[in-house]
Chains A and B, each alone.
Chain A
Amino acid sequence: MEHDIAPQRRFDIGRILRREPLTALAVLVLLAICFMAIFAPWLGTTDPIALGTAPRMASPSAEHWFGADQIGRDLYTRVLYGARVSLIVGIAVSVISIVIGLAIGLVSGAVRWLDGAIMRVMDGLMSIPSILLAIALVAIIGGSLHTVIIAITIVEFPRVARMVRANVLSVREHLFVEAAVTVGSTMPQIIWRHILPNTVGLLVVQTAYIFAQAIMIEAGLSFIGAGVPPETPSWGNIMAEGRVLWQVKPGIVLIPAAFLTMAVLAVNIIGDSLRDALDPRQNH
């Protein structure tokens, strides 16, 4: 029986997918969207930016699956390329936020005299409603893929830093850390051997949530005109352009909306099941 309660919980992806069909579906959806994004040029698409590749306002047809927008761009093409923008933003923001948040959280949790100041700055950043901070940053620096990524990262990393810090503080209280101190381990050693392994699970789950959040914020920013440049095909931009005519041509708004929702939902479901898998105690 003893190996059952080993502290290192094995994490079997195959078992999770068999037990949770919803998660399996979410993984499939996410993979499909990744496939779309990567192979967009070879999936029967035209030029996503050039005008007049389709008749203006064309209805969905065999040739133009999702129809076309008011300046004659094939919607199917633009939605596929839009997946690229969302995924790039999602990946970049989650990776950078986790790295920065981890570094700041560790420093804050380990170095007592810096803790107060760092946390006040994090509190301040978190007091600005996320979309508003991102809007301000993009509007002022100027809209590009880089600035959108930077802006959303600034919104997301303080939460990671706070969580990592809280985790450091709670792990520090454990007997094994005290034991490590007693046998003469230095702080960097303790962080590396004890605190970091105990933080990885938390970070994996957060990566998923930040990914989902980043996709949503990017679309929101583009939608209100503070995102990637308007000619870039991103789901938020396509919806923003479709806004004027959406009562006549709801597809231009609703199709990218459906893709956006599926992507966010899939990533959130994956995040939830990662959370449950890594922390079975929390069953609600």
Chain B
Amino acid sequence: MLIYCLKRILSTIPVMIVVALCVFSLLYLAPGDPATVLAGEQASSAEIEQVRIALGLDQPFPLRFVEWSKQVLSGNLGVSIFSGIPVLELIRQRLEPTIALMITSTIISVLVAVPMGILAARHHNRLLDRIVNVVTALGFSVPVFVIGYVLAWIFAVHLRWLPVQGYSPISEGFADFLRGIIMPAIVVAFSYFSLITRVTRSAMLDVMRQDYVRTARAKGISERSVLFDHALRNASMPIVTVVGLGVALLISGSLITETVFAIPGIGRLTADAILRRDYPIIQGVVLLFSLLYVLVNLLIDLLYTLLDPRVNFQ
């Protein structure tokens, strides 16, 4: 098992190298020479020359990549062209709202989606199942920012129950934090919730056809115990896996939703960076969130290995 875990950990390395290579190459896709791009639009030719030397553009590409990777590994993601502040510091300042949004969304999604999926599977092809199918179909098809505006229009502009936009940090009181975060979190959760519900439903349907579930029922075990102890436990693998894979939805959703609700997180940082063509910030955000995605999935795999005695360690 230890060997399996090690192998799984090591398997993320080639993936991260490809990600790093993509992110690094991005700069070379920009029109014109990277030094001019990085020096910013108002740079003098002397400044451009300085950046050129700093980048080591006289070196061959693989060598530059290795050099850049070393910098990144030591925590240096470069500095913002616009403000001159290190990218890592800028990201750190904006991390709280985004992470808070993602965690709240995850909690909402998982708490609603798993019971919903189980109910839908239990009422397979009946009204409740149909309703769940329609709701999750909407979750896949309605873009996050559309849901955002519709909810904000109903609950903030019309009913005035919740603030229209803005973010209040946890440190300034949990109630205010919750009032501010709840609507954006539901917005982000919608697609994530749909994905988890669909997978829970189909995993439960698969499991409930198994002989051991029939045996359990035949033994006269209560339906509750059949559902939770026999079916859900065995259906948990695909559910847990999709919770990990869905983190990609969560990341994309959070970044866009921040723009709808004017939440000062990584999404706003990125949107501002796009307007200012501040490439190092964009590179840094892509790199960190991809790393987050890969690590969450690694963690889930490892956790599952530890928890499920059936996992095959080949």
On A, residues with C-beta under 8 Å from B are 120-121, 123-125, 127-133, 135-137, 139-142, 212, 216, 219-220, 223-226, 239, 243, 246-247, 250, 253-254, 257, 260-261, 264-265, 268-269, 272, 284
Q: Chain B's nearest CB lies how many Å from the CB of A268?
A: 5
Cα(A226)–Cα(B293), bound, Å: 22
Dominant secondary structure of chain A at its interface with chain B: helix
Cα(A250)–Cα(B260), bound, Å: 13
Closest to B245 in A: A126
9 pairs of residues in contact across A and B, judged by CB atoms under 8 Å: A124-B16, A132-B290, A137-B26, A140-B27, A220-B143, A220-B145, A254-B150, A254-B153, A264-B141
Task: Given A140-B282, A265-B138, check contact A226 B146 (CB 8 Å).
Answer: no
State which of B31, B124, B294 has its C-beta within 8 Å of the C-beta of A141: B31
State which of B19, B149, B202 has its C-beta within 8 Å of the C-beta of A253: B149
Tell me if B30 and A141 are in contact (CB < 8 A). yes
Closest to A213 in B: B140
Tell me if B27 and A124 are in contact (CB < 8 A). no
Closest to A242 in B: B149
CB-defined contacts of A269 to chain B, threshold 8 Å: 137
CB-defined contacts of B141 to chain A, threshold 8 Å: 212, 261, 264-265, 268
State which of B23, B157, B259, B285 has its C-beta within 8 Å of the C-beta of A224: B259
CB-defined contacts of A243 to chain B, threshold 8 Å: 259-260
Task: Given A140-B30, A141-B31, check contact A129 B149 (CB 8 Å).
Answer: no
State which of B15, B30, B143 has its C-beta within 8 Å of the C-beta of A264: B143
On B, residues with C-beta under 8 Å from A are 14-19, 21-23, 26-27, 29-31, 124, 137-138, 140-146, 149-150, 153, 157, 164, 201-202, 205, 248, 251-252, 255-256, 259-260, 267, 270-271, 273-275, 277, 279, 282-283, 285-286, 289-290, 293-294
Known A-B contacts: A137-B29, A265-B141. Give 10 more (CB < 8 A). Answer: A128-B286, A129-B251, A137-B26, A220-B145, A220-B252, A239-B145, A257-B149, A261-B142, A264-B142, A269-B137
CB-defined contacts of B16 to chain A, threshold 8 Å: 124, 127
Cα(A137)–Cα(B145), bound, Å: 21
CB-defined contacts of A135 to chain B, threshold 8 Å: 255, 270, 274, 282, 286
Task: Given A254-B150, A254-B153, A261-B141, check contact A127 B19 (CB 8 Å).
Answer: yes
Q: Chain B's nearest CB lies how many Å from the CB of A257?
A: 4
CB-defined contacts of B21 to chain A, threshold 8 Å: 124
Task: Given A141-B30, A246-B149, check contact A130 B22 (CB 8 Å).
Answer: no
Closest to B14 in A: A120
CB-defined contacts of B144 to chain A, threshold 8 Å: 220
Cα(A14)–Cα(B307), bound, Å: 50
Q: Chain B's nearest CB lies how many Å from the CB of A215?
A: 9
State which of A130, A136, A142 has its C-beta within 8 Å of the C-beta of B282: A136
Dominant secondary structure of chain B at its interface with chain A: helix
Tell me if B22 and A125 are in contact (CB < 8 A). yes
Cα(A265)–Cα(B134), bound, Å: 11
Cα(A225)–Cα(B26), bound, Å: 18
CB-defined contacts of A142 to chain B, threshold 8 Å: 30-31
Q: How many A-B residue pairs have CB under 8 A?
A: 146
Cα(A260)–Cα(B145), bound, Å: 11
Tell me if A127 and B149 are in contact (CB < 8 A). no
Closest to B164 in A: A247
CB-defined contacts of A284 to chain B, threshold 8 Å: 124, 201-202, 205
Tell me if B138 and A223 are in contact (CB < 8 A). no
CB-defined contacts of B267 to chain A, threshold 8 Å: 224
Q: Chain A's nearest CB lies how many Å from the CB of B184?
A: 15
Tell me if B149 and A216 are in contact (CB < 8 A). no
Cα(A246)–Cα(B21), bound, Å: 40
Task: Given A132-B251, A225-B275, check contact A268 B30 (CB 8 Å).
Answer: no
Tell me if B149 and A124 are in contact (CB < 8 A). no
CB-defined contacts of A123 to chain B, threshold 8 Å: 14-15, 18
Q: Chain A's nearest CB lies how many Å from the CB of B64?
A: 17
Task: Given A132-B286, A212-B141, A223-B145, check contact A120 B29 (CB 8 Å).
Answer: no
Q: Chain A's nearest CB lies how many Å from the CB of B169?
A: 23
What are the 8 closest A-B residue pairs judged by CB atoms, nearest first?
A: A124-B18, A131-B252, A265-B141, A257-B146, A129-B251, A129-B248, A139-B274, A264-B141
Cα(A142)–Cα(B144), bound, Å: 24
Closest to A257 in B: B146
Task: Given A124-B17, A136-B283, check contact A261 B143 (CB 8 Å).
Answer: yes
Q: Chain B's nearest CB lies how many Å from the CB of A83?
A: 15
Closest to A253 in B: B149
Tell me if B29 and A140 are in contact (CB < 8 A). yes
Closest to B260 in A: A243
Cα(A135)–Cα(B146), bound, Å: 19
Closest to A267 in B: B141
CB-defined contacts of A265 to chain B, threshold 8 Å: 137-138, 141-142
CB-defined contacts of B252 to chain A, threshold 8 Å: 129-132, 220
Tell me if A125 and B18 are in contact (CB < 8 A). yes
Task: Given A120-B18, A132-B251, A220-B256, check contact A225 B149 (CB 8 Å).
Answer: no
CB-defined contacts of B286 to chain A, threshold 8 Å: 128, 132-133, 135-136
Cα(A225)–Cα(B18), bound, Å: 27
CB-defined contacts of A131 to chain B, threshold 8 Å: 251-252, 255-256
